[in-house]
Amino acid sequence: MAEAKEEDVKLGANKYTERQPLGTAAQTDKDYKEPPPAPLFEPGELRSWSFYRAGIAEFVATFLFLYITILTVMGVNRAPNKCASVGIQGIAWAFGGMIFALVYCTAGISGGHINPAVTFGLFLARKLSLTRALFYIVMQCLGAICGAGVVKGFMVGPYERLKGGANMVSHGYTKGDGLGAEIIGTFVLVYTVFSATDAKRNARDSHVPLLAPLPIGFAVFLVHLATIPITGTGINPARSLGAAIIYNKAEAWDDHWIYWVGPFIGAALAAVYHQIVIRAIPFKSSRAF
């Protein structure tokens, strides 16, 4: 009797197999080949116009990002009360919506990073060279400074009075609280970037339409909703640097290190999690030898 039951189980297992492979079972070489890691240094990039065009795209995108978002923050802070403005939700939508639009516009040119933390995370995953990563970060910071500068030019008095949209840890929270919020918030963003732009996932799940800028922008929106009351939400060192340089008061610099250390740690953790745990790339490489 026991043998008959065991046979029934085997027949049932064979009869009702998975039609669509799931998880690692779907990760075959039939539809995708892992691209080689980007070299650490690629001197040939410096002689390519596409390299400089990508840097210019990052500059312009970060400029527009700071311009729209800082203006939104100024508008909310100038209102007599939150009900007379778009409020925190409106600020979050401005940040998330601009990332959605700008990533969509620049993804085909530079990858649409618009954030040194994103660039750093992708560099750790060997998605781009050190040369390109440093160039992107410099252009992003310059674009952020110019964007915040234009906002100050429009409203010099209110800009100073409303602290220029600079990131600061809110009263009632410690520096550790702020650092933790920035680490986790950036992890959410960079992990979403890795997942939304994963070429293997797109190849395997090509039947599922995926517009990469949408989940990335939505992640930015959600992180802002959660962390604006704590740190004003950085998760983007260029955004924090641009606002701090143009505002340039001691209070803007007191906690500024948090807006670099936190995002870079969060980006590194996201890169490690996605590449090692989710994609298991080091283990695949070891099996190849």
Q: What mean pLDDT is reported for the chain?
A: 85
* CATH number attached to the domain at 43-278: 1.20.1080.10
Write the secondary structure of the chain as one string of H (helix), E (strand) and C (coil). Answer: CHHHHHHHHHHHHHHCCCCCCCHHHHCCCCCCCCCCCCCCCCHHHHHCHHHHHHHHHHHHHHHHHHHHHHHHHHHHHHCCCHHHCCHHHHHHHHHHHHHHHHHHHHCCCCCCCCCHHHHHHHHHCCCCCHHHHHHHHHHHHHHHHHHHHHHHHHCHHHHHHCHHHCCCCCCCCCHHHHHHHHHHHHHHHHHHHHHHCCHHHHHHCCCCCCCCHHHHHHHHHHHHHHHHHHHCCCCCHHHHHHHHHHHCCHHHHHCCCHHHHHHHHHHHHHHHHHHHHHCCHHHHHHHHC
> How confident is the model over 97-115, as a mean pLDDT?
95
> How confident is the model over 104-110, as a mean pLDDT?
93
82 band by pLDDT with thresholds 50, 70 and 90: low
Report the share of the chain in percent with pLDDT over 90: 62
Give residue 1's pLDDT: 53
Range from 4-13, 81-90, 182-191, 265-274 carrying the lowest mean pLDDT: 4-13
Q: What confidence tens digit (pLDDT) does each residue in 207-252 have? A: 444 588 999 999 999 999 999 999 999 999 999 999 999 999 999 9
Give residue 65's pLDDT: 98
Q: What confidence tens digit (pLDDT) does each residue in 164-198 have? A: 899 999 999 999 999 999 999 999 999 999 998 88
- Between 141 and 31, the more confident residue is 141
Give residue 19's pLDDT: 44
pLDDT at 86 over 90: no
Model-level pTM? 0.84
